[in-house]
């Protein structure tokens, strides 16, 4: 007679002692890669199982893929913290968990005050067999007609409501406190610094006119929403 497999039970939570964290189904975790030179794998916990003694804990996970791990590879619009929720399920030992992380929705990620090392975002589901994405369509912006990359500085023109990527219209990277002039599809800095009421200068015809804007400087790798009138193609 074949020996019966020991009964396993489903756990509502599990305290991972080596990281001093408790995980539950639905949590996102960092998993130890087979190659130590690579970044940690990211997965969503689907189920936690243990043997009758509460040991030999196994984690049922659904893997997130990084863009470079997909069939099409990383593209210009993929953010540095972007992940795809795949259809790849697996069972791993709880011992391979290196930490917990948060995978935000795209909308939630762009509203973060600060992006930590363990913050990621996901806007696509990915079929690892076919390379297909869901959704298979996404809004595009700027003259380059690419989906939005939250790592890029973007400017919204209130005249036409279009969003423009800074690199697509020229100019360097600007620092907090700089007075920036926008004109005819390009940028240049003014040596005069601005104070708490940040503003940009917008060229209307041959004159420069100061307009109020809303600038978010709290984030390092996210949206910097600048709202001005009649700029980038609208002057």
Per-residue pLDDT of the chain (235 residues; tens, 9 = 90+): 566 666 789 999 999 999 999 999 999 999 999 898 999 999 999 999 998 887 789 999 999 999 999 998 998 888 899 999 999 999 999 999 999 999 999 889 988 888 899 999 999 999 999 999 998 776 655 545 556 667 765 555 444 455 444 443 444 444 333 444 433 233 333 333 332 233 343 333 333 333 333 333 222 222 233 333 333 333 2
Going by the DSSP 8-state scheme, the letter that residue 95 receives in this structure is G
122 and 28 part of one domain: yes
Domains in the chain: how many in total? 2
Provide φ and ψ at 96, rounded to 5°.
-85, -5
Computed from CA positions of residues 102, 174, 217, 163, in that sequence, does the dihedral angle turn out positive or negative? negative
Say what the pLDDT of residue 98 is: 97
Give the ranges where 76-231 is alpha helix by DSSP (H).
106-110, 166-169
Place of tokens 């795949």: 86
CATH number at residue 65: 2.30.30.490
Q: At 55, list the tokens.
A: 């040991």
Rounded distance, CA 126 to CA 42, Å? 14
Say what the pLDDT of residue 230 is: 30
> How far does Cα 108 stand from its chain's mean position?
9
47 and 121 part of one domain: yes
pTM: 0.64
Inside any domain, residue 149: no
Say what the pLDDT of residue 112 is: 86
Rounded distance, CA 151 to CA 167, Å? 11
Of 124, 169, 171, 125, residue with least CA distance to 147 = 124
Is the link from the previous residue into 185 a cis peptide, with omega within 30 of 0?
Answer: no
94 and 188 part of one domain: no
* Cβ-contact 196, 212 below 8 angstroms: no
Of 138, 226, 220, residue with least CA distance to 179 = 226
43 and 87 part of one domain: yes
- Give the residue numbers spanning the domain of 169: 154-228
Of 183, 211, 188, residue with least CA distance to 199 = 211
Inside any domain, residue 216: yes
Rounded distance, CA 201 to CA 154, Å? 16
57 and 169 part of one domain: no
88 and 24 part of one domain: yes
45 and 105 part of one domain: yes
Inside any domain, residue 147: no
126 and 221 part of one domain: no
Say what the pLDDT of residue 57 is: 95
Q: At 171, list the tokens.
A: 């100019």
13 and 118 part of one domain: yes
């Amino acid at each position: 007679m074949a020996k019966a497999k020991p009964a396993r039970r489903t756990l509502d939570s599990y305290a991972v002692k080596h990281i001093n964290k408790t995980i539950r189904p639905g949590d996102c975790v960092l998993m130890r890669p087979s190659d130590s030179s690579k970044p940690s794998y990211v997965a969503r916990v689907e189920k936690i199982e243990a043997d009758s003694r509460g040991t030999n804990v196994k984690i049922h996970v659904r893997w997130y893929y990084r863009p470079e791990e997909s069939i099409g590879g990383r593209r210009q619009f993929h953010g540095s913290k972007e992940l795809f929720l795949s259809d790849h399920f697996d069972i791993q030992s709880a011992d391979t968990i290196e930490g917990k992380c948060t995978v935000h929705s795209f909308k939630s990620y762009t509203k973060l005050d600060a992006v930590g090392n363990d913050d990621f975002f996901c806007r696509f589901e990915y079929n690892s067999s076919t390379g297909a994405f869901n959704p298979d369509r996404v809004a595009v912006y700027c003259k380059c007609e690419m989906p939005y990359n939250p790592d890029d500085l973007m400017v919204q023109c209130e005249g036409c409501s279009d969003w423009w990527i800074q690199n697509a219209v020229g100019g360097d990277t600007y620092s907090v406190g700089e007075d920036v002039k926008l004109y005819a599809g390009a940028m240049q800095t003014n040596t005069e610094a601005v104070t708490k009421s940040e503003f940009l200068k917008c060229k209307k015809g041959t004159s420069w006119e100061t307009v109020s804007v809303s600038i978010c400087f709290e984030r390092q790798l996210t949206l910097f929403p600048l709202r001005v009138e009649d700029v980038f193609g609208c002057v």
